[in-house]
Structure 1
Amino acid sequence: MSDPSRPRASLRTAVVWDVLKDALDRRVKATGRESLDVLDTGGGSGKFAVPAARLGHRVTVVDPSPNALFALERRAAEAGVADRVQGVQGDAHGLFDVVERGGYDVVLCHGVLEYVDDPAEGVANAVAALRPEGVLSLLASGLGGAVLARALAGHFTEARQALGDPDGRWGEGDPVPRRFTAEQLTALVEGAGLRVGAVHGVRVFADLVPGVLVDTEPGALDALLKLEAAAAELPAFHSVATQLHVLGETREAAEA
Structure 2
Amino acid sequence: MSDPMRPRASLRTAVVWEVLKDALDRKVKAAGSEALDVLDTGGGTGNFAVPVARLGHRVTVVDPSPNALFALERRAAEAGVAERVRGVQGDIHGLFDVVERGGYDAVLCHGVLEYVDDPAEGVRNAVDALRPAGTLSLLAAGLGGAVLARALAGHFTEARQALSDPAGRWGEGDPVPRRFTADQLAELVAKAGVEVGAVHGVRVFADLVPGALVDTEPGALEALLKLETAAAELPAFHSVATQLHVLGEKRESGER
Question: TM-score per shorter chain, which class?
Answer: over 0.9
Letter in 2 for 1:20: L
Letter in 1 for 2:76: A
Query: Structure 1 residue 71: deviation in Å?
Result: 1.0
**1:151 matched to 2:151:** yes
Distance in 1 of aligned mates of 2:5 and 2:53: 16
Give the RMSD, CA atoms, in angstroms.
1.0
Distance in 1 of aligned mates of 2:229 and 2:236: 14
Letter in 1 for 2:245: H
What does residue 44 of structure 1 align with? 44
Identity %: 88
Letter in 2 for 1:13: T
Query: Structure 1 residue 196: deviation in Å?
Result: 0.2
What does residue 12 of structure 2 align with? 12
1:67 to 1:151, Cα distance in 2 relative to 1, 3 A: same
What does residue 201 of structure 1 align with? 201
Letter in 2 for 1:124: R
What does residue 136 of structure 2 align with? 136
Distance in 2 of aligned mates of 1:141 and 1:251: 25
Query: Structure 1 residue 6: deviation in Å?
Result: 2.1
Structure 1's consecutive aligned runs of 4 or more residues displaced over 3 angstroms after TM superposition are 2-5
Could you state the TM-score of these two structures normalised by the residue count of structure 1? 0.96
Distance in 2 of aligned mates of 1:4 and 1:163: 31
Q: 2:69 aligns to what SS in structure 1? A: helix
Letter in 2 for 1:125: N
What does residue 102 of structure 1 align with? 102
Letter in 2 for 1:153: A
Q: 2:7 aligns to what SS in structure 1? A: coil
Correspondence 1:119-134 to 2 at 5 A: 119-134=119-134
Count of paired positions: 251
Equivalent pair of 2:4/2:17 in contact (CA under 8 Å)? no
Q: 2:29 aligns to what SS in structure 1? A: helix
Correspondence 1:84-95 to 2 at 5 A: 84-95=84-95
Query: Structure 1 residue 133: deviation in Å?
Result: 2.0
Correspondence 1:208-219 to 2 at 5 A: 208-219=208-219
Distance in 1 of aligned mates of 2:192 and 2:26: 22
1:18 to 1:146, Cα distance in 2 relative to 1, 3 A: same
Equivalent pair of 2:4/2:47 in contact (CA under 8 Å)? no
Query: Structure 1 residue 3: deviation in Å?
Result: 4.7
Distance in 2 of aligned mates of 1:3 and 1:126: 23
